[in-house]
Chain A
C-alpha cells in the first residue's frame, strides 16, 4: 500500500518538476516552430496571413536569389573541413605538452568568449584596403598584391569564411585535445613494432579512436557556420556586396525584418531547419555505416 502511494507520489512530483522546463521550451520554441510550419504556406506581413499552399515553396525554388544564397551556404560548407583539420593539427602539437602548453591552450580558446560583433568589427578593419592584411603582405615583400576582399562578392565571402575558421580554432582544438587524452598509446607502439608507418598509424589507429570527437566537432562547426554567423555578417558586410555574403540565416532576417515579408522568412526558416536535420541525420548515417 505505502510503496504504491510512494510510487504514485513519485510520478506526480516527477511531472511537476519537469513541467516548468516543458512549458518554457514549448511556449518559446515548440509553438513557434509549429507556427513557422503553418506560416510558411502563407503570405504574411506579420498581421494578416493569407493561405497560399505549396505555391510559396515552388515560388522560392524558382527564385534565383534563393539559389544564390544557398550557394553561399555551400561555399561556407567547403570551409568546414579546414575549420576542423587546422585545429586538429594544433591539438596534436599542444598534446606534445611543450613548455607553456596550458597558457597556449588558454590563449587559443580565448576568442570563444568574445562576441561576433567585436570579432566582426576587428575583422572588417583587418581585411580593409588600409588594413593589417595589406600591411602584412607589404611587410613580407608582397606589396604588389593589394587585396580588397570586402569589395567583391566572392572576396567578401572568403573574408567571412576566414574569420569563421579563425574563430572555430578554440572550440575545435579543445574538442580534439579532449579526444587525444583518451588515445591508447600502447596501440601505436605495437603497430610500430610491426613496421607500420606514421601515416598508417594515424589513419588506422588514431583516427578511428577520435571518431566520436570528429563527429562532435563536425556538428558544432556546421551549426556555427549555418546558424551562428548572423552577427558576424551583420557587422562585417551586412550581407553584401550584392548577395555576396547573404547566407540562409541572414536571408531569413532580411526577408522578415528588412522587407516585411514574414511568410517567406518563416518558410526559409523551415527550409533551414530541414537542412540542419538532413545534415545531422546524414552524418550519423555515414558514421554508422563505417562501423560495420
Chain B
C-alpha cells in the first residue's frame, strides 16, 4: 500500500510539472534578454523595459478592467432579477423563458458574430468599450441566469410569502432578502465571467476598433500575430496579462468549481 502511494505521488508530481510548464517557461523567459534567450547565459530585466514601449501595458490593463466591470455589472443586474422571477415568481411565461435562455447557451459565438458585428457597427458601438461590453454581457447572461435560477430555487418559498404578507413589495423582497442570500451564487458568476472576459480574444479583437481601448489579451494577441516582437518581451507581457485571472482563480477556486459543476446538477 505504501509503495502504491509513493508511485501515485510521483506520477502526480510529474503531471504537475507538465501542467505548470507554461508558467515555468514564461517566468524563465521573461527575465532574459533576447541574446540570453538565444543561448547566452544569465538573466536580466531588459525585456521588461522593452515591453512597456512595445505595449501600453497600464492602459490595456485598465481597459480590461473597465470592460470586465461593465459587462459583469450588466450580467449581475439582469441575471439576478431574471433568476428571482423564474424561480420564485413562476408563471406560464417563465417556463418558456427558461427554455429560451437555456437554448441561447447552445448558440456558438461564431454563429452570431458576423451579424452582431454588422449590427454593432451600424449602431456605432465599435468605437469605445460598449460593443464589447454588450456582447460579453449577452454571452454571459444565459449561464448566469441559469445559475441564479437554480440557486434561488433552493430558498424556501415560505420566506418570500411571509415577507409579502408582512407588506413588503416584490422589489423589496428581492433587494432585502433574495440578493443578500444569493451572494454565494453571485460570487460564482463574477469569478466565472471575470476569467472568461479577461482571457477572451475574439470579441475584443472585433468589437473594439480603437487600439487605445484594446484589452491586454487583445493587445498581446495582436503583438504576437505581428511576429516582430522578441519572445522574452512577449512572455513578459503574457505573464502580466495572466496574473490577474490566475490570482482570482487561486482566491476563488471553490466558487469556480461550484460554477462548473452547477451545470450538471439540473
Knowing A10-B89, A276-B108, say if A235 contacts B224 (CB, 8 Å). yes
Q: CB of B25 within 8 A of chain A? A: yes
Q: CB of A113 within 8 A of chain B? A: yes
Interface residues of A in 213-227 (CB under 8 A from B): 213, 216, 220, 223, 226-227
Over the window 31-61 of chain B, the binary record of Cβ atoms lying under 8 Å from chain A Cβ atoms (1 yes, 0 no) is 0000000000000000000000000000000
**Which A residues are in CB contact (< 8 Å) with B81?**
17-18, 20-21
Interface residues of A in 1-22 (CB under 8 A from B): 6, 9-11, 13-18, 20-22
Complex: how many Å from CA A25 to CA B118?
17
**Which A residues are in CB contact (< 8 Å) with B77?**
20
**Which A residues are in CB contact (< 8 Å) with B179?**
none
Knowing A33-B111, A114-B242, say if A18 contacts B82 (CB, 8 Å). yes
Q: Judging by beta carbons under 8 Å apart, are A25 and B25 in contact?
A: no
Contacting residue for B97 out of A22, A178, A220, A235, CB 8 A: A22
Interface residues of B in 184-235 (CB under 8 A from A): 195, 198-202, 206, 217, 220-221, 224-225, 231, 234-235
Complex: how many Å from CA A46 to CA B97?
32
Q: CB of A127 within 8 A of chain B? A: no
Interface residues of A in 233-256 (CB under 8 A from B): 234-235, 238, 248-249, 252-253, 256
**Which B residues are in CB contact (< 8 Å) with A248?**
110
Residues of chain B at interface, number, CB under 8 A: 91
**Which B residues are in CB contact (< 8 Å) with A94?**
12
**Which B residues are in CB contact (< 8 Å) with A27?**
134, 138
Q: Judging by beta carbons under 8 Å apart, are A273 and B201 in contact?
A: no
**Which A residues are in CB contact (< 8 Å) with B25?**
122, 125-126, 132
Shortest CB-to-CB span from A162 to chain B, Å, is 11
Q: Judging by beta carbons under 8 Å apart, are A269 and B112 in contact?
A: yes
Chain B interface, DSSP helix/strand/loop, else mixed: helix
Shortest CB-to-CB span from B208 to chain A, Å, is 14
Complex: how many Å from CA A24 to CA B136?
11
Contacting residue for A25 out of B90, B138, B248, CB 8 A: B138
Contacting residue for A93 out of B8, B74, B249, CB 8 A: B8
Residues of chain A at interface, number, CB under 8 A: 91
Contacting residue for A104 out of B12, B202, B264, CB 8 A: B12
Q: CB of A137 within 8 A of chain B? A: no
Knowing A22-B82, A116-B199, say if A29 contacts B8 (CB, 8 Å). no
Knowing A22-B100, A166-B18, say if A117 contacts B119 (CB, 8 Å). no
**Which A residues are in CB contact (< 8 Å) with B235?**
121-122
A219 and chain B: residue at smallest CB distance: B263
Interface residues of A in 242-292 (CB under 8 A from B): 248-249, 252-253, 256-257, 262, 265-266, 269-270, 272-273, 276-277, 280
Query: Which of A117, A178, A248, A256 has its CB near the most chain B CB atoms (within 10 A)?
Result: A117
Complex: how many Å from CA A96 to CA B3?
13
**Which A residues are in CB contact (< 8 Å) with B257?**
109, 174, 178
Q: CB of B73 within 8 A of chain A? A: no
**Which B residues are in CB contact (< 8 Å) with A249?**
108, 110
Q: Judging by beta carbons under 8 Å apart, are B249 and A113 in contact?
A: yes
Given A29-B116, A98-B12, A117-B199; 15 other pairs, CB 8 A cutoff: A13-B89, A17-B81, A17-B170, A24-B141, A25-B142, A28-B112, A46-B118, A115-B220, A121-B224, A122-B21, A132-B25, A248-B110, A252-B113, A276-B108, A277-B106
Q: Interface of A with B (CB < 8 Å)?
A: 6, 9-11, 13-18, 20-22, 24-25, 27-33, 35-36, 39, 46, 90, 93-94, 96, 98-101, 104, 106-123, 125-126, 132, 166, 169-171, 174-175, 178, 212-213, 216, 220, 223, 226-227, 230-231, 234-235, 238, 248-249, 252-253, 256-257, 262, 265-266, 269-270, 272-273, 276-277, 280
